[in-house]
Amino acid sequence: MEANRRVCIIVSHGGLDEVYPALILANGARMEGIECILFFTFYGLDAVTEDKVDHLHVNMVGNPTSPVPTMLMGLPGMETMAAKMMQSKMTDLDLPTAREMIEILDESGAEIYGCLLAMDMFGRTKDDLVPQVKDVITVGDFYNMSEGSQIIFT
């Protein structure tokens, strides 16, 4: 394995089904000894926002692979029901919650950052984020940190 391998993952979506792939990729990188930076921007910030991380939904409307017709998925409560079903399946598979995954990633040495522009757009401060977020940075800061890295956009 090459020394100093690094991956930078941009998390731009906040649905439960959209956040987990990024968290799993990051965890896999750390398990392989690959340095990892996660950059949470736009709705991806929900995954690292204290009052939202435990209440992520599944975005089924407009999902072309959804087994449920779009018209039904738009009904009140359907996103919550889909999220509960997915969380139940994840529990059956012994997958950690999103909050636990973030804690695991932090403990493993992954660096977690929030996007300053998105924070400003949504009126959030660093105090609104989970304690594992190392800092709130600009896109320019992210580019400087990610130089020479593989970048994955989710």
Evaluate whether residue 122 is within a structural domain.
yes
Evaluate whether residue 1 is within a structural domain.
no
Edge-first strand listing for the sheet containing 150-153: 135-137, 111-115, 35-40, 6-11, 150-153
Predicted pLDDT at 47: 97
What's the CATH number where 58 sits?
3.40.1260.10
Domain boundaries, position 112: 6-153
Mention every residue, 6+ apart, whose C-beta is less than 8 A from residue 8: 36, 37, 38, 39, 142, 145, 146, 149, 150, 151, 152
- pTM, two decimal places: 0.87
Number of structural domains found in the chain: 1
For every one of its 154 residues, what pLDDT tens digit does the chain have, with 9 covering 90 and above? 455 799 999 999 998 889 999 999 999 999 999 999 999 999 999 999 999 999 998 876 666 666 677 667 667 777 777 778 777 888 888 889 999 999 999 999 999 999 999 999 999 999 999 999 999 999 999 999 999 999 999 9
Amino acid identity of residue 147, one-letter, is E
What DSSP line would sit under 57-93, residue for residue? ----TT-TT-SS-HHHHTSTTHHHHHHHHHHHHHHHT
User: Rounded to whole angstroms, how far apart are CA atoms 92 and 147?
Assistant: 39
